[in-house]
Chains A and B, each alone.
Chain A
Amino acid sequence: MAIFEQSIHWPVWLMVLPLTGALLTFAIYRYQNLIGLITAMGILWSVIALAQKVLTEGPQRYSIGGWGAPLGIDLYVDGLSTLMLLLTAAVGFFVSFYGVGYAGFRQHNHGSGYFWPLWLFLWTALNGLFLTADIFNAYVTLELIGLASVALVGLSGQASALNAAMRYLLVGLLGSLFYLLGVGLLYAGYHTVDMASLGQAAQAGPLPRTALTLMGVGLLLKTALFPLHFWLPPAHANAPTPVSSALSALVVKAPFYLLLRLWFTVFPDSTTGAAANLLGLLGAIAILWGSIQALQTQRLKLLVAYSTVAQLGYLFLVFPLTQDSMAASTAWSGALYYTLAHGLAKGGMFLAAGTIFYALQQDRIQNLNGISRHLPVTAFAFGLAGVSLMGLPPSAGFLAKWSLLTAAIANGQWGWAIIIVLGGLLAAGYVFRVLSYVFMQAPSKAHYRPVPWLMEWPALLLALMAICLGFITQTPLTLIEIGAPMSYQYLLP
């Protein structure tokens, strides 16, 4: 058994498995759901195995085909990658089950057969990005994520979805080209695309700074940081529900992950305080702007999409908050915990919103009266996810916000602290606005469609995970620490 364990290279398995699943679900149409679910479980299993290995043995490096960097492609796994892989596997697992139950596919029949292959392709590309140790390979996986996501957004074939998909494609390609140009300049300067070699070769100077700026612009477009967020709400709101959930919880985090890698581990010398403050400022505006838009919108799915714009802003506070070495590790753990908390909570919230949309056949917020009587599980899931998004204790969102707040206060950066608190209040505003209708006593006389149980429970389980990670903090925090650029010392409370 020990030999068997050693012979399995989990990082490679994590890409081969979803890729095989995607091809099989495309070829064997009849047993799509079965093959897809087995694949999803297999990936979850592999990620857990990989996480255990990283927890016990530290960061892992694997050379595909034994070529090795700089010529070959290397895979690298540390705490940050493992965390993202685990988040992807957890959200992906529940999204897959929801996808089986999603009755909306039967409504728009023509695209439904493509959900499984495209979704598993997307999963392959996400895993590939989180595993790669090579900035050019990262470009390829970014492009694959983009192509699969665009096709998924346009799956329903309706005019609004096609428009959103087209805009998403143009923005995604533009972002990729900026990124690719930056990679080209770096190769011209250092003759390598391997992250570790680049990190050793690059000194502060105009070349890495220009390249980092170009790559940064591309990645910010793809992460939808304010004011580059314009494409996100239509794309996320018009996609089929399982897709919206995966896009909001995972896909926008992928370019952010790459930005973290480049900023903190590859080019730490080329970053400046001014750039960090600019990113933080844009993040702060995103929090306020996204929350205000969410407060004003009349449609539920659009509200959840605008909430993503706002919540992504929090992630960018990691740049200014890590400038002071005093609280850098707290800010780092806080931001990564935020990624985790938001992924789980937003994944659950989008699934719940989609279920409500399906049951009512529309999602105007005024018409949600008393829906908790018909869909108690979904309403509860929406509420629980909201608790984590608002940052109420004892959720994962609370822990993440608390760490960011601690870091801001420890640094004496009061401006960011005010934004963090204000963002939480605004989130409470838009979540309670929905909940006040959902739990209203008098139910409207609207006609409800029956909802399959597979559309209700995955949302609740995801939201529950977001809450549970407020208690079970030991393993994620240990993982964050492994290979982190800032060593973690303490995390309050």
Chain B
Amino acid sequence: MIFTPALLYILTGIGLFILGLYALFVHSHLLRKILALNIMASGVFLVYVAAAYRSPEAISDPVPQAMVLTGIVVASASMLLGLALAARVKAKTGRTELDDGSPSE
């Protein structure tokens, strides 16, 4: 496979995705988890933008850019819901982490 600039961006995007995935699992603070998901989303968007690249001369494909735009709207809505929920969890329980997950008997 030829090493093109697009491939470099795709690999960077996948790298960000993996970094975010790691952070999501190791950090227990809810804000950090939300940030980790944000970074994963940025990685995915980078892959999309790189997928729009055709050749140095050609105009890049507008469809993935439109999809990234949609993705950003969806992602910001989800992140806001996440932040609002995290604030409610903090206000109600005084904790910034999730409980251990075992359903209360």
Contact = CB atoms under 8 A, between A and B. Distances in A.
Q: Do A and B come from one complex?
A: yes
Interface of A: 71, 136, 139-140, 143, 146-147, 150-151, 154, 157-160, 162-163, 165-167, 169-170, 173-174, 176-177, 180-181, 184-185, 187-188, 191, 193, 230-231, 233-234, 237-238, 297-299, 302, 305
Given A71-B63, A140-B70, A166-B98, A184 B48 contact: yes
A184 B105 contact: no
A230 B81 contact: no
A57 to B, nearest CB: 31
B8 interface: no
Contacts of A184: 44, 47-48, 51, 64
Interface in B77-93: 77-78, 81-82, 85-86, 88-89, 92-93
Nearest to A301: B103
Contacts of B41: 177, 180
A146 B89 contact: no
A180 B70 CA distance: 12
A184 B67 CA distance: 9
B74 interface: yes
Nearest to A234: B103
Nearest to A302: B103
A84 to B, nearest CB: 22
A188 B92 contact: no
Contacts of A237: 103
A166 B89 contact: yes
B98 A163 contact: yes
26 contacts: A136-B70, A147-B78, A147-B81, A150-B85, A160-B104, A162-B85, A162-B88, A163-B93, A163-B98, A166-B30, A167-B101, A169-B78, A169-B82, A169-B85, A170-B34, A170-B82, A173-B78, A174-B40, A181-B14, A181-B43, A181-B44, A187-B51, A187-B64, A193-B67, A238-B103, A305-B103
Which 6 residue pairs are nearest across A and B when measured between Cβ atoms? Answer: A188-B51, A184-B47, A234-B103, A143-B74, A184-B48, A159-B93
Given A170-B24, A187-B51, A191-B61, A150 B81 contact: yes
Contact of B81 (A136, A169, A231): A169
Interface in B13-65: 14, 17, 21, 24, 30, 33-34, 37, 40-41, 43-44, 47-48, 50-51, 61, 63-64
A83 to B, nearest CB: 28
